[in-house]
Amino acid sequence: MQFSKYYFIVYSCYRANRVMGFCLVYCVLANMGYFYCMKLKVSGLLLLTVLSFSACDKDENDDLTSTQKITRQWQIDKYYGYGVDSTVFFNYPFGGYKIDIKGSGQYTERYTNFGSPRVVNGTWQFLNNSAYFQQVDSSQSRTFTVISLEADYLKLKNPLKDQQYWLKPL
């Protein structure tokens, strides 16, 4: 059938990113008719426009503040000590580590320390425009550099030691 042959040729012109005028000239020379070729061109441009706008959907997480992103329950995913994946060594003294960070500036850490369950409550805050995350409890104050903070991942670095904590939400 002649239609499928010419349609394939026009479609190939679009796929090859050729100048659309070339496709139109080819259609006219192949006796497909000017109106039919213009209809194919308009349909192709309409489809391209719709696809380009649908690819530009805004990510919902872009509008979240740092506080909204961090406010949730997190668990340790990876621990790096001095550039080496040391998650196994972290899990031994801090087994099942979880931290619940609340929007009120409070946090609760839960883990098992050598077989004994531990619960640590304290306060948290961002410092220097969310570049640092500080935790304060009754026995210590810790300040971490925020490497990455997304709604689905948190990476912190202890600037005093070469340690990184990668957390994922529960």
Mean pLDDT of 149-164: 93
pLDDT in tens, 35-60: 565 666 666 556 555 555 555 554 55
Is a pLDDT exceeding 60 seen at residue 75?
yes
- pTM comes to 0.64
Please state, in angstroms and rounded to a whole number, the distance separating the CA atoms of residues 26 and 32.
9
Tokens representing residue 52 in the block:
């380009």
Q: For the chain, what percent of residues have pLDDT higher than 90?
A: 58
Question: Which structure tokens are listed for 161?
Answer: 């030691």
Q: Using one digit for the tens of pLDDT, what is the confidence trace for 78-116?
A: 999 999 999 999 998 999 999 999 999 999 999 999 889
- Cα–Cα distances in angstroms (integers) from residue 48 to residues 53, 125, 153, in the given order: 9, 47, 34
Q: What is the pLDDT of residue 11?
A: 52
Question: What pLDDT does 159 receive?
Answer: 87
pLDDT band at 135; cut points 50, 70, 90: very high
At 74 the pLDDT is: 97
Q: Which pLDDT score, from 0 to 100, does residue 141 have? A: 96
Is residue 63 very low, low, confident or very high in pLDDT (cuts 50, 70, 90)?
confident
Residue 2 or residue 42, greater confidence: 42
Distance CA 48, CA 57 (A): 15
Per-residue pLDDT, 29: 47
Q: What is the pLDDT of residue 28?
A: 47
24 pLDDT more than 70: no
Angle (deg, nearest 10), helices 20-29 and 2-15: 160
State residue 25's pLDDT score. Answer: 45
CATH fold for domain 62-169: Lipocalin (2.40.128)
Check if the beta carbon of residue 33 is closer than 8 Å to that of residue 27.
Answer: yes
> Which residue type is seen at 136?
V
CA–CA gap between residue 34 and residue 38 (Å, rounded): 6
Gap between the terminal Cα atoms of the chain: 59
